[in-house]
Amino acid sequence: MVHKKKGDHHERDHARREEMDFKIMARRNRLFGLWIADKIGLQGDAAEAYAREVVIADLEEVGEEDLFRKVRADLDNHKTVVADAELRKKLSECFEDAKKQLQES
């Protein structure tokens, strides 16, 4: 019986960690999407809608390449120059911001 409870506790902890990781990544992608929206001249509801598109784009495949393909295409379509290194740096900053925001809430 003790092992069952211990196993349940580990499963709940694992589920909580996975849920928090998912929330952090979604928040990161939203923040990143808002930053990109600003770069391509979107504001208000249009910027929020774009940020949602970025969140959804990252769900297409494992890793971040799906996200980068989307924002790179959008930046190129708007003739907005942002280096790949700057995109990756900003995504990392957005991750740290998202983590901090969710830990404070």
Q: Residue 87: name the closest of 20, 16, 35 by CA.
A: 35
pTM, rounded to two decimals:
0.87
pLDDT per residue over 7-40, tens digit each?
A: 677 788 888 889 999 999 999 999 999 999 999 9
DSSP track, 36-49: HHHHTT--HHHHHH
Q: Which domain holds residue 98?
A: 2-104
Query: Which CATH number goes with the domain that contains 47?
Result: 1.10.790.20
pLDDT at 1 exceeding the cut of 50? no
**Cβ of 99: how many Cβ atoms within 10 Å?**
17
**What's the total number of domains in the chain?**
1
E strand segments, 2-99: none
